[in-house]
Amino acid sequence: MTHLKPSHEQLVKEALSSGRYRSVDEFLDEALSAWKDKDLQGGDQLQSAHRNPGKKKTLSELFASLRGLDIDLSRNPSTGRPIDL
């Protein structure tokens, strides 16, 4: 069996420390499932979009490539400019 590259090992450690995954097995199960789904869909989603330009993506399909990244997509809680009444 081959060993993980240091960059891959770091990604696994970050995924575990984020709390999203409880174990390396859980992380690998999801990663391999995503790879299998992508492979069954015929490869890259950009290529798929070019083959089916009329097909609209769902929000989960649109943001699927961002899964696992530590990105905060929450709203800005700013209340806006003060208004004098």
- Dump pLDDT digits (tens) for 10-53: 888 888 898 888 888 888 888 888 888 877 766 555 555 555 56
Tell me the C-alpha distance between 20 and 18, whole Å: 6
Instruction: Give the CB-side neighbour count of residue 76, counting CA atoms within 13 A.
Output: 3
Residue 50 has a pLDDT of: 53
pTM beyond 0.85, yes or no: no
